[in-house]
Amino acid sequence: MPLGVAEKAFEVARIATSLQPITNPNMKSDLTTAIALSGAALEGALANVAINLDSIKPESPEDEAFLSETRKRAAALKA
- Would the pLDDT of 75 be above 90? yes
% of the chain exceeding 90 in pLDDT: 97
**This model's pTM is above 0.85:** yes
Number of domains in the chain: 1
What local confidence, expressed as pLDDT, does residue 1 receive? Answer: 87
Burial classification of residue 33, based on how many CB atoms lie within 10 Å of its CB (0-12 exposed, 13-18 middle, 19 or more buried):
exposed
Domain range enclosing 29: 2-78
pLDDT tens figures, 12-49: 999 999 999 999 999 999 999 999 999 999 999 999 99
What local confidence, expressed as pLDDT, does residue 79 receive? Answer: 86
What local confidence, expressed as pLDDT, does residue 19 receive? Answer: 96
**Other C-beta atoms within 10 Å of 55: how many?**
7
